Amino acid sequence: MTRLTFRASSSAGEVSAVADRPDDARWLLVLAHGAGAGMAHPFMEALALALARHRVGSFRYQFPYMERGSRRPDPAPLLEATVRSALAAAAGFAGDLPLLAGGKSMGGRMTSRAAARAPLEGVRGLVFFGFPLHPAGKPGIERADHLAAVDARMLFLQGSRDRLADLELLEPVVGRLAGRATLHVVDGADHSFHVPARSGRDDADVIDELARRTAEWAAGV
């Protein structure tokens, strides 16, 4: 793995990133963290390792607020600017590998918002690890309104018990995206992709499923 920094925006300064390009990698996924935990969260680290086993390299990075040690996310325009800066930094690391972009929860949503404003140069598709369709206990689809403007293929990886994405609401959203979106439901998983012990699986099994499905989908993008 390679540790590096890049400038998030003209005003926000430098942020950290960790890049991993396995020798047999076929893609590089530029991966943003969720609202409450940074790129070094155990889920993010385990996902990067699982992706590498399935020939997907990764470029994990921090948003400025997380780099500062704050728990309050930056305004959306700065988060979106950081997505674009991360992609520019990752492109140099990727070499000839095709790029994917996305992230966990908020990180995926901010990536899609950036893509809705203007296409993300060189990005073949977007991957959402738990798209946060609505706040917990407040069902709605307003957070998905911008997806119609995204000119890229999209993969939604969603737990069946995710309280931030009622599947009865998410499925029609995906269906309206004119064949550009694919939904993969992880049975029994919550928003953090934890599964109950009675399921007979553990978190490592689920993370491997996420990585495997990402690689399978990427092969057709």
Opening angle at CA 55, ends 155 and 32, nearest 5: 50
Q: What's the CA gap between 24 and 221, in Å, rounded? A: 18
Question: For residue 18, what are the contacts with CB-CB under 8 A and spacing of at least 6?
Answer: 1, 2, 3, 4, 39, 40, 48, 59, 60, 61
Number of structural domains (the chain) is 1
Q: Work out the number of other CB atoms within 10 angstroms of the CB of residue 5.
A: 14
**Domain housing 119:** 2-218
Domain of residue 62, CATH code: 3.40.50.1820
pLDDT tens, per residue, the chain with 221 residues:
899 999 999 888 999 999 999 999 999 999 999 999 999 999 999 999 999 999 999 999 999 999 999 999 999 999 999 999 999 999 988 989 999 999 999 999 999 999 999 999 999 999 999 999 999 999 999 999 999 999 999 999 999 999 999 999 999 999 999 889 999 999 999 999 999 988 889 999 999 999 999 999 999 98
pTM of the model as a whole: 0.96
Angstrom distance (rounded) from CA 112 to CA 195 = 27
3-class DSSP state for residue 58?
Answer: strand
pLDDT in tens, 181-205: 999 999 999 999 999 988 889 999 9
